[in-house]
Amino acid sequence: MLSTVLALAAGVTLAGLGGVPAHAADKVKAAWVYIGPVGDFGWTYQHDQGRKAVEKEFGDKVETTYVESVPEGPDAERVIEQLARAGNNIIFTTSFGYMEPTLKVAKRHPKVFFEHATGFKQAKNVATYNSKFHEGRYILGQIAAKMSKTGTIGYIASFPIPEVISGINSVMLGAQSVNPDMKIKIVWVNSWFDPAKEADAAKALIDQGADIITQHTDSPAAMQAAEQRGMKAFGQASDMIQFGPHAQLTSIVDNWAPYYIERVKEVMDGTWKSTDTWSGMGDGEVVMAPYTNMPDDVKAMAEATEAQIKSGALNPFKGPIYNQASELVVKEGEVLPDKDILSMNWYVKGIDDAVPGK
């Protein structure tokens, strides 16, 4: 709540400083809107690493700013509006809930380019981009099935949105490809970032028999909890090995740098177009941290799967896939279309739980 005030204050300051019209500047001004603090060591941290990569790549030819901890909703619209008025040429808004605010502001500023992460609505000057994190999660599922002694994976989930649901399914499909009897316990914390709650969730899952923890929340707290209890875990967004030197098996690392550099370059060259990009491991946008704390054969399996996903030979959502009611959703040999993954609201067979709100 108070970070809102800060964010708005920052937005106002930016607007006050930069009254220069976009075309008058000989350098590209790029701005980022973040949902969390840049120091979350998770989602926002990685976007900011991408922003820094843009600065490093273009040096004096680019000027970047960011506003952190911007709540979704009306506050976001005000912040984005301020950034547009401050003469930014391109504005990246990096949370699902910024979708409508971004579109609204974009309508008022047709000469400014907008990029919305994880959204599904484009406009002439609004592009969307996202990463196929579920590709990495399939590998996590396979490793978990090989490494688990109890046969139960603990999953700390944030909000029941398609990205999170498809992640759970992907982990489960990966696990079932190794051991069809794997179980998964899901705990929703209803927050992207609450370290103490994430740690409590990890402990609760471990107490209930999960010996491998995976998370779709943003802090390294769950990794630390697993390390303390002598369990294994997967990192999220960043390589979290320092938080779990004995616990971390691998980590899904978000690498936004290539995309950000490419898009800012397009603004410079005047070739920017509204696109809908969904990159994955093959494009280097989803990167696996080194495979550690596992036997060589498990590591070899993970690397082989990674190579197959990168080459396109393996798709986590390739049929046959059954839903919880044992109905065939994806036929043998077919692949679930992207739009169905992006709107997923059902669990695959074998998950002994219900999708929240269904």
Restricted to residues 306-345, the positions that interact with another protein (CB under 8 A) are: none
* Choice between 238 and 305, CB closer to another protein: 238
Restricted to residues 250-309, the positions that interact with another protein (CB under 8 A) are: none
One residue of 64, 65, 69, 128 binding another protein per CB under 8 A: 69
d(CA 297, CA 294): 8
* Choice between 154 and 280, CB closer to another protein: 154
* Choice between 90 and 202, CB closer to another protein: 202
* Choice between 188 and 278, CB closer to another protein: 188
* Choice between 46 and 142, CB closer to another protein: 46
* Choice between 161 and 314, CB closer to another protein: 161
Restricted to residues 153-212, the positions that interact with another protein (CB under 8 A) are: 154, 160, 185-191, 193-201, 203-205, 207-208
As measured in angstroms, the least distance from the Cβ of 39 to another protein is 4
The burial of 141, by beta-carbon neighbours within 10 Å (0-12 exposed, 13-18 middle, 19 or more buried), is given as: buried
Q: Which stretch binds another protein (CB under 8 A): 27-35, 79-87, 164-172, 347-355?
A: 347-355
* Choice between 40 and 306, CB closer to another protein: 40
Please report whether residue 220 would count as binding another protein according to CB under 8 A: yes
As measured in angstroms, the least distance from the Cβ of 117 to another protein is 20
Please report whether residue 224 would count as binding another protein according to CB under 8 A: yes
Residue 94 in contact with residue 34, Cβ under 8 Å?
A: yes
Restricted to residues 25-54, the positions that interact with another protein (CB under 8 A) are: 36-41, 45
One residue of 179, 228, 274, 324 binding another protein per CB under 8 A: 228
* Choice between 142 and 224, CB closer to another protein: 224
Count residues near another protein (CB under 8 A). 48
**Residues 75-94 as x/- pattern, contact with another protein by CB under 8 A:** --------------------
For residue 220, cis peptide bond before it (omega within 30 degrees of 0)? no
As measured in angstroms, the least distance from the Cβ of 208 to another protein is 4
Task: Give the footprint of another protein on this chain (CB under 8 A).
Answer: 2-3, 5-6, 36-41, 45, 69, 154, 160, 185-191, 193-201, 203-205, 207-208, 219-221, 224, 228, 238, 242-243, 352-354, 356-357
